[in-house]
A and B are shown apart, each in its own frame.
Chain A
Amino acid sequence: MNRQKSSGRFRFAAASVLLAALIFLVPALRAGNPSLYLLAVLIPCLIFLCETVIARMFSLDRMIMALVLWLCAAGIAALAQADPDTALAQSLRCGAALIALLIGGIMMRTLTPSLLTSSCAAFLGLLMLAGKLFSPVLPFPLTEAAMVFLLIAFASLSARQSTVFALLLGLVALSLLLITGSFADAVLWAVIILLLAFAADGRLMLLLPALAVVSLLFFITFRLRLFDLSGSSSSVEALVSAGAIGADALPESFSSLDSGSLFLSLAGHYGLIFAGLTALLFLPLTLRGTSVASAARTRFHAVLAMGASLMLALRALAAILSVFGFLPLSGLRLPFLTDSLPDLCAQLFLAGMLCGISGQNDADLAEDAHLAMLAK
């Protein structure tokens, strides 16, 4: 094993395990809560187990896995100060979502860009989006899960040289997102499909009409006022009131904010410095995802990895910008820092796909090295 590589990995693993233990141990000392003591033992052990045994067993990318696990642990820590039992429930949600990560990683080994893959994924994705039309009061959000399925269908169609159909699918999904009022998701989806179509095909003859249709759809939606552009100046005030290092009890200004956004809770309890540095971890995650995409051997894997990276990175960027009031979008949460189980599953499934594609790239490279060794 390369000494330089192992050094970076071990340092990160050691720091994340230590931090995960301390971040639950310190609040546990205040009231002697058994749930927090349990989390202080359970979370570091789980991180260590996943980064060593699970990643090796399923040939998953260790860096993506380590980053994702730490972000999930930060989400649990955001709840631990205020309500240890909710934090315990969040840890169970993360544990369940980790299964989605493993499924995503394993699926990438067997999934091929066939017509069956395209049609099944497109059907499921559109069905989930359309389900919101027929049943507006769904107890759980399915938009992110639908976007994951649609991304698989888009990548499969692009890999099959059916760029026109891929763009058509993207536009239909965009229309459904706009009709159901998911404006923020619609903006993200539009940017992602246009960028992916540009990367996969690059023909202006297809891209310009697609761009025109996307602009027209947004214009119509804006004229019909199907969405609410609400500012978020109150969240900026709340973040400022949290200070650099935060406090055990959240300030009053936090009570009016989105309770499901764990980033805000994290900033309130541990301060802006810690929350900002945690949010910056999306940068290496995105860089890693783009590296995986550029190293992929097949177009399907390349488009899928780039799409997954874009989806996580753009969502994180949009969430941070909207928290600080730079974007007039509401309802966006940082990936992995959410208390919604379907969203968490969808995001970890995306991360799992990246891990699986990275593992496949490594396997391909090892095969090449084996052939070269045989040649000698």
Chain B
Amino acid sequence: MFSVSPEIYAVLSTASRWLFAFFALMLLLFAFSWHHSDRKERRDRFKNLPGAGTVGELVVLSGSSELPVDTWFPVPREGVLGSLRSCDLVVPCSGVRSQHLDFSWQDGTGLLIRPRIGCEVLVDGVPVSRRGAYADTPLLHGSLLQVGDAILRLQLFSALSHTNRPFSPQAPVPDPGSGSWMPPAQPTVQPPVPDPYAASQPWTSLPVQGLVPDQAPPVAEQYPPQPLPDQPQQPEPPQAGQRRSRADRWKEDWSE
């Protein structure tokens, strides 16, 4: 095979070693630059997709001084809810332990809640047990979650196939002895069409049937048109300085 004389090789070898060191430096710089540009691109994508990685949001209906009403939390697919700052959902209310419950999203079922040992959790007024039966009481769209003194309502993105069952908020069981707050039956949202899956996000405009073809009966058959309940009084337009609801901001974000 082709080879060069030792004299030429000596010069070539010394020069190439410096060249290799230069190339190694370039590789290092290019690697950092690549990583930086990838992170920037990812940040931009997340900026355009504010709901990425989450399944919905929990809105505070009753909280504490540290957790005012109408605060909302984006809900990841799985995580821990508690009063500790390292939790995925931080609920600083009395009665909420440092790590109160674990939650995980299951397609076709909903948000499964699993309380930690010795922690009490109510879903739509029904206590959730730690073992076995916790899968029977998933959080669905509009479900109410009570942990300690905090009451939170789940709003799911309707594009997710979050349930195969029709949503029917369970009537709260009056239990005067327990002393716990029992949520009144609430309408889920005020939708223009009788679609119980509708959340406040623009994804709600998508028909569930279109995204989840396996769901047998169409929504219209499953929920025949019924006279709408009395429309609640429309809130006054927000004045300057007044906090807007999360739903309004979602609509604006997505319309952009």
Contacts and interface: CB of A to CB of B under 8 A. Distances in A.
A103 interface: no
B88 to A, nearest CB: 10
Contact count band on A = 35 or more
B24 A297 contact: no
A8 interface: yes
Contacts of B14: 245
B244 interface: no
A22 B31 contact: no
A67 interface: yes
B55 to A, nearest CB: 10
Contacts of A287: 35
Nearest to A12: B30
Given A371-B159, A376-B254, A298 B27 contact: no
Interface stretch (A28-36, A141-149, A211-219, A320-328): A28-36
A375 B206 contact: yes
Given A26-B12, A372-B49, A8 B37 contact: yes
B189 to A, nearest CB: 17
B38 A246 contact: no
A37 interface: yes
Contacts of A299: 78-79
A12 B27 contact: yes
B27 to A, nearest CB: 5
B12 A288 contact: no
A63 interface: yes
B23 interface: yes
B1 A34 contact: yes
A278 B34 CA distance: 17
A281 B78 contact: no
A273 interface: yes
12 contacts: A8-B34, A11-B34, A12-B27, A15-B26, A66-B31, A161-B102, A246-B17, A274-B24, A297-B77, A365-B42, A372-B254, A374-B211
Given A2-B37, A271-B17, A277-B25, 20 more contacts: A4-B40, A8-B34, A8-B38, A15-B23, A19-B20, A19-B24, A29-B12, A63-B34, A67-B31, A202-B99, A203-B99, A246-B17, A270-B20, A284-B31, A284-B34, A298-B77, A299-B78, A299-B79, A365-B49, A376-B254
